[in-house]
Chains A and B, each alone.
Chain A
Amino acid sequence: MTTTLTSPAPEVVDFLTAGIARFTRQDPAAIRPDSALVDLGLQSIDAVLLSGEVEDHFGIELDPATIFEHDTLASFASDITARLKAR
């Protein structure tokens, strides 16, 4: 699921960028929206924990498989943005 139907909200991209930078211990400036999550070094355990942070921060409900359905940060961010709009 890499097609972007909803353009990702900047606050979602910023939140994910900061989270991924923290989990992977790298400079947020090095993380691009079209970066592949795997290439950024995001382990599956980090992906799970990041999903929990997204639920807490944005008050939406994610399925545990959601993040694994997305290749890139932008794609995941679009999905979250769509869920935020659907509330």
Chain B
Amino acid sequence: MSSWYLGLSTSGHDPALALVDAAGRVVFAEATERFLQDKRAWGVVPDHVPHLASALAAVGARPGDRIVPATSWASVKADLGLKVHDALLPATDTLWMQGLQARMQHSAGAALLRLGYARESPEPMRFDHHLCHAVAACHFTPLEEAACLVIDGEGDVGAVSHFRLAGRRLARGWRSWGPGSLGTFYGWLTGLCGFDWREGEEWKVMGLAACGRADPALVETLTGLLAVDHGRLRFADEAAIAAIRAAVAPLARTPGAPVTDAADLAAAGQAAYAFWADQVLAAIAEDGPALILSGGCALNSSYNGTIAGRTGFESVFVPPCPADDGNAIGAALLAWMTDTGATRIPFGGGSAFLGSAPRAKTLETARHTAAAGHAVTDLAGRSAEAAAGLLARGRILGVMRGRAEFGPRALGNRSILADPRPGDMKDAINARVKGREPYRPFAPVLAEADLAEWFERPQPSPYMSMTLPWRHGVRDRVPAVVHDDGTGRVQTVGPDSAPWMADLVAAFGHKTGVPVVLNTSFNIMGKPILHSVEDALGMLATTGLDAVLIEDILIEKPVPS
């Protein structure tokens, strides 16, 4: 009989599950949205029966094994009976989310009954939301000592928590109580820019901010919404918020209007975010020089890229899964630590590749029955070199290799790759494959060793967590991955962290003289990153992709003559 620790992200949005084995290793982690192919999987239980069954099968669990479930919240928000703060996000949204969170908290672990792993309703362990964020983040870094800051939409009591990691033991410093949230602000800003935070469109605001100019007077107006006191956040009173909302209302973009109409507003909002986040960081400056940053706001890669060297922190570490999906890992590890008495947070080696692998049987079938006209080639042992050759010839390639990334970024295992050199490549991918807004940037991948030659403020970014300025003089060489403000959201690869991508980038560099590859997630707009071999072949058939590489099997469309 083996023991497994099942961490469940129980927020009601971004459900996910993680499994930790008896030795404290994270052996599986996957967001529900991937399995269901339903973006954000709102309201779906994190122990969705078929998904949990596939995860347990993937790790080799068997009926009779002991499974200890754990949730990513200590409390049920709705049970506190607090009046909902509705000055920024509509009260209906908040009530809806509280209801979902209550349902997830109440039903967590029940699927174990259905799957034969429990004989009575399991009573999960329940852990503080921000502690889950912090533990999950620490699991991905080898650091022994660091400040650890969670900046989030909300938490069990407030939206910011400060911890200290010492000897890989985590101790709580302080936390913010009551209303006051950078995540809530960003959700509101997202709506103001004509997007929908419930769809997770905060990305679009961050991307758009790079195209705009932050008017200092508007930034000053916005910064009146929140006060930061010793790192704790507090919204202004209702009257002050109403006045600011009225002042910025004329700038709001209606969803039908051109996206770029909101660029200056997005830039001002991003500047206000940085103004507050800087003050939160200043409150823990004495904890330096290393910072671990987590919580949903740690997905703000534009801000993340500005922290090191400017704020008193010399290095910044952001895990691949800083948002609520990542809390499945935190809850699972906390359950393991509680059960075994371990006090040190285990270091997992840093790999984000914790999800499902392509199903070998399906791939074998596809290999023999690929639609007529497709060339099928086994590239075993030379797929990185061959892929580099395809990219250098201008092909757009979907790649599905090994285990899926945990977290929102495609890091080469579920990616669409292309040549960053042609000026029209960005438009080509957007038009032919992704179907998304033309202003949105694509990410550059390059070797960590080459970073300083291409970027200012170079710092490792293995999970695509940092947006950095390109050096002057190199931008013209890779126009498809340079944002309007001269930055790029970079992924650094090395022979240990991502050997296949490192080989591909090196081979592309040999062929072209430019050791930089364009990387974007393997999905179309509005859909999660794909999950199955069938999804990959479906995208090949229904988009302008030129080829897909699944494991080492290349499936290509005929090349137009």
Contacts and interface: CB of A to CB of B under 8 A. Distances in A.
A51 B81 CA distance: 16
B75 interface: yes
Contacts of A64: 75, 80, 156-157, 177
Contact of B179 (A45, A61, A63, A65): A45
Contacts of B230: 56
Interface stretch (B168-176, B244-252, B259-267): B168-176
A51 B82 contact: no
B158 A68 contact: no
Contacts of B174: 55-56
A84 interface: no
Contact of B83 (A45, A51, A61, A63): A45
A49 interface: yes
B157 A51 contact: yes
Interface string A52-72: 100110000101110010000
A44 interface: yes
Interface in B162-217: 172, 174-179
Interface size grouping (class) on chain A? 10 to 19
A49 B82 contact: no
- The interface residues of chain A, by DSSP majority, are classed as helix
Contacts of A49: 177-178, 234
A52 B234 CA distance: 12
A65 B80 contact: yes
Given A61-B172, A64-B80, A65-B80, A52 B177 contact: yes
Contact of B177 (A44, A51, A65, A68): A51
Given A56-B174, A64-B75, A48 B157 contact: yes
A61 B156 CA distance: 12
A55 B82 contact: no
Given A45-B179, A52-B177, A65 B75 contact: yes
A61 B161 CA distance: 12
A68 B83 CA distance: 13
B175 A55 contact: yes
A55 B177 contact: yes
A21 B208 CA distance: 46
A80 to B, nearest CB: 15
B451 to A, nearest CB: 40
B531 interface: no
Contact of A44 (B75, B82, B158): B82
B453 interface: no
A36 B74 CA distance: 28
Contacts of A55: 174-175, 177
Given A48-B178, A55-B177, 17 more contacts: A45-B179, A48-B82, A48-B157, A49-B177, A51-B157, A52-B157, A52-B158, A52-B178, A52-B232, A55-B174, A55-B175, A56-B174, A63-B74, A64-B80, A64-B156, A65-B79, A68-B81
Interface of A: 44-45, 48-49, 51-52, 55-56, 61, 63-65, 68
11 contacts: A45-B83, A45-B178, A48-B157, A51-B157, A52-B177, A52-B178, A55-B177, A61-B172, A63-B75, A65-B75, A68-B80
